[in-house]
Amino acid sequence: MAPRILLARHGQTQWSLSGKHTGRTDIPLLDEGRRGAELLGERLRGAPFDGLPGVEVRTSPLVRARETCEIAGFGDRARTWDTLMEWDYGAYEGMTPAEIQAVRPGWLIWRDGVPQGETLAQVTARADEVVSWAREEDRDVLVFAHGHILRSIGARWLGLPIAFAARIRLNPTSLSALGWAYGEPAIESWNDLGHLAAA
């Protein structure tokens, strides 16, 4: 069982800045996102992480996650993994929550899903695959991915339905840690942005 799984959300992009649902559209980082990735890397190289020697690293293949991973200094240790891709938003790709609410009042992705995209069950299955992989490791693991899939992983690590992910927001370039407390899965830290204070 892994001591913990560290979750790094990719840096800021034009679409994340404007609130658009960015699933499989391959959008690069903004300069702000690249700077955030540099600061994240500096944090992971310092105490208490000390560069995470021996950590197993995986990244979503989408450019915004891969670029964050590379700039942070983990590109040469990372394996790309399609399971870490963002939710396929189908017909809602590129739309903001307000635009979706205008055509579907009361809509909540964690309850209602998306048309022509991945179902809640499919996203749950991918999150479960990541959780199973992490728990089979005998060392820390570090993943670079996206807001909704990382929130789903957080919920499933705790054994909760992914609807719980509605309550655990993640900002770009955040760092979170999932571990154990009294033998039970626990959140050690969530949506930590302390490294961005130097930006």
Distance from C-alpha of 128 to C-alpha of 122, rounded to nearest angstrom: 10
Is 86 annotated as contributing to ligand binding?
A: yes
Active-site choice (56, 86, 93, 118):
86
Q: Is 21 a catalytic residue?
A: no
Contact (Cβ atoms closer than 8 angstroms) between residue 5 and residue 157: yes
Q: Is 86 a catalytic residue?
A: yes
Is 22 annotated as contributing to ligand binding?
A: yes
Per the listing, tokens 């190289």 go with 45
* Cβ neighbour number for residue 11 with a 10 Å cutoff: 30
Q: Give the Å distances, CA to CA, from 128 to 40, 52, 93, 142, 149.
A: 26, 24, 24, 16, 11
Contact (Cβ atoms closer than 8 angstroms) between residue 43 and residue 26: no
Is 88 annotated as contributing to ligand binding?
A: yes
Is 118 annotated as contributing to ligand binding?
A: no
Is 180 annotated as contributing to ligand binding?
A: no
Catalytic residues: 10, 86
Positions at the binding site:
22-23, 64, 86-89
Positions at the binding site for substrate:
22-23, 64, 86-89
